[in-house]
Structure 1
C-alpha cells in the first residue's frame, strides 16, 4: 500500500499527571510550551487531556497528559518509557540550569551531548539536550521563556526494557529507524533526516522490577505515519514480520491511531500526521477553548461541570 510521504519519527508522548492546574502551569510557564489543545480523555471524559507543543502542534513536539487528580504514584522499572528529552540550543544550557535548579536538576553527558535531567512536579523524568546550531529554528515565545532559549521539539525518548533486540527490530523494520550508536547498556536508534523527534534510546535493564503505571509515568509512545495508507502499511508489517496485532483504527479527531504492546511491554501507538490540531479551531487560537469530540458534544454542560476549574 503506497504513500506519497515516508514521514517517520516520534509523533507524541502521553503521560499521567496529578493536578491539572499544576501540570498546566509547569509546562506552559516553566518550560514555555504552547498549550495546543485542551480537550478530554475520550475514554474518561471526566478528565482533561492537555496537549503541549510548538506553535503549530507539529508532530515530534507534542507531550500530552491525562491529569488524574488522585492518581497513585507510578514506579520506575522495566517496560516503560523512562525519560522524555527535548532539544534546546547549546547556548541555552546556562539559562535552563538556573531556571530548573529547584526541579532535581542534574547535568550529565550522553553520546557526546550535554544533557540536563530534571523532574516535573509529578516526578515525570525529563531532559533537555543541548544541540549546536539550532538557534535559528522557529520556536514558540509565550513571554515566559525568551525565544532564543526556547525548546525546539523532542530530542529523544529512552525506554527501559528487559531485552531490547525485538523492540529494536520493530524500530528499524516498521518505523524507519536505524541503529547508530551504543553507550554502556543503551543502544541509540535514529531516523535519518529527522531532526525533531528522530531518536529512540533502548536501555537494557534485565532483572529490574517491572514498571507500575501511575502519576509521573508515561502512558504510551506514538510514532508518526504520514496518512492512513502509511499507517496500514505499518500495521501490515507488524503482523507479517513480527507477529503483532494492533487495535482497530481509532479517530482521535487530530490524528487517527492504532495501538499495540511492543515486545518489552511498552504501549506503542501509530498516529497519522493528518488532520492536525487546527482542524477544530484557528491556528492562532489553539488551546483557547475546551474542545470535545462530536460524540461528547451533547454532554458538554455536564462535562464542564465535572472538570477541575482552571485559572
Structure 2
C-alpha cells in the first residue's frame, strides 16, 4: 500500500558534537547514518531516527560549526513535533526542563514545546495508544518513554490556500481541522509523519536561514514511478517545476519551492539506510558516496572530531 506523509526534515546546526549528544543522548534517537553533505563534504550530514531509519522518523542535520543563527519568519518550517506515549509526558517534562520547556495544547493534543541547543523549535505530542509501537533503546531512556517518530510539522506562511492545495493534490493530505489561524492537513490513516499544520501569519518578516533553522521538508514517494507521478501533478496542476532527480544514496530526490516559499523535497522510500552498512551497525562508520571515496583521507582530516 502506498505510504504518504513526511519522509524527513533537514535542519542546520552549529557544533557537530553538541548536536550529536543532544539528539542521541537527550532525545534518545538513533544515529542511523553518519555521512557528509554531498554538496559540501567539509561538513557532516547526520541522520537520526528509529532503529531502522524508517521514513517518517528521520531528522537530519548539516552541522556547520560557525553558522550564524537563523531568524524565524514566513516561508519556513517552524516546529517539528515528535510522538511519545501520553504516559511519558511527565518523564519528558523533567528531562527537558533546561531547554525552555513550555506545556501547551493544540487540536486537543498536549504538547511539550522546547528548543535544541541551536534554537530549533521542537515539540513532543503525548498520544494515547502508542505504547506498543517499537522504539529505539539507547540505553538511557526507558523504552516505554522513547520517541516514536514524527507526529507532524508546522509551516509559517503568508497565506495557506495554495500550499494546502499541493498537500492535498500531490501528497494525499486532507484538511482535518482549523484552530485560529492554523489549518491542519493530515494523511488519512497515517499515524507516522502524517500531519502538516499551515499557520497564516501575513505581515511577518521572511525567515532567514541559519543555525536552528529548517532547511527543507521532504515527503514520501514509494519509488521512482510514484515520485515522477508527483512531479507530473506539480507541473500539470500547479505549474511548478522540480529539479532533476538527485541520487542521495539512501533515497532519490527532487526539490521545489512551494507557493509559500518553503523548500519541499520528494524522497523515495527506497533503497533505505542499510544499503551501505548492516542494519545492526547503522551510523557507526563514516559513509561516503562513491564519487567522494577517492578523497576519504582528506575529508576525514577536515571534519570536526566527534570524540
- Pick one of 132, 137, 141 that aligns with 2:133: 137
Deviation at 1:196, TM superposition (A): 0.4
In structure 1, the residue matched to 2:7 is: 11
Give the distance between the partners of 1:6 and 1:155, measured in 2 at CA. Answer: 19
Give the distance between the partners of 1:195 and 1:155, measured in 2 at CA. Answer: 7
1:89 corresponds to 2:85? yes
Give the distance between the partners of 1:276 and 1:270, measured in 2 at CA. Answer: 14
Deviation at 1:193, TM superposition (A): 1.3
In structure 2, the residue matched to 1:303 is: 299
1:204 corresponds to 2:200? yes
In structure 1, the residue matched to 2:71 is: 75
- Pick one of 248, 256, 273 that aligns with 2:244: 248
Give the distance between the partners of 2:130 and 2:4, measured in 1 at CA. Answer: 20
In structure 1, the residue matched to 2:175 is: 179
In structure 1, the residue matched to 2:119 is: 123
Q: Give the paired residue count.
A: 307
In structure 2, the residue matched to 1:163 is: 159
Deviation at 1:7, TM superposition (A): 1.7
Give the distance between the partners of 2:225 and 2:262, measured in 1 at CA. Answer: 24
1:279 corresponds to 2:275? yes
In structure 2, the residue matched to 1:221 is: 217
Superposed CA offset, 1:142-161 (max 9, x none): 11211000000000000000
Give the distance between the partners of 1:47 and 1:226, measured in 2 at CA. Answer: 29
In structure 1, the residue matched to 2:49 is: 53
Aligned ranges 1:24-63 → 2 under 5 Å: 24-63=20-59
Superposed CA offset, 1:179-230 (max 9, x none): 0100000000000111100000000000000000000000000000000000
In structure 1, the residue matched to 2:17 is: 21
Q: 3-state SS of the aligned residue for 1:274?
A: coil
Structure 1: any 5+ residue segments left out of the alignment? none
1:99 corresponds to 2:124? no
Give the distance between the partners of 1:17 and 1:285, measured in 2 at CA. Answer: 24
Give the distance between the partners of 1:18 and 1:239, measured in 2 at CA. Answer: 36
In structure 1, the residue matched to 2:142 is: 146
In structure 2, the residue matched to 1:64 is: 60
Structure 2: any 5+ residue segments left out of the alignment? none
Give the distance between the partners of 2:158 and 2:67, measured in 1 at CA. Answer: 26
Deviation at 1:50, TM superposition (A): 0.1
In structure 1, the residue matched to 2:185 is: 189
In structure 1, the residue matched to 2:109 is: 113
Give the distance between the partners of 1:295 and 1:141, measured in 2 at CA. Answer: 34
Q: 3-state SS of the aligned residue for 1:174?
A: helix
Superposed CA offset, 1:28-70 (max 9, x none): 0000000000000000000000000000000000000000000
Give the distance between the partners of 1:129 and 1:187, measured in 2 at CA. Answer: 18
- Structure 1 runs of 4+ off > 4 angstroms? none
Q: Give the TM-score, by structure 2 length.
A: 1.00
C-alpha RMSD over aligned residues: 0.4
Q: Give the TM-score, by structure 1 length.
A: 0.98
Deviation at 1:274, TM superposition (A): 0.1
Q: 3-state SS of the aligned residue for 2:88?
A: helix
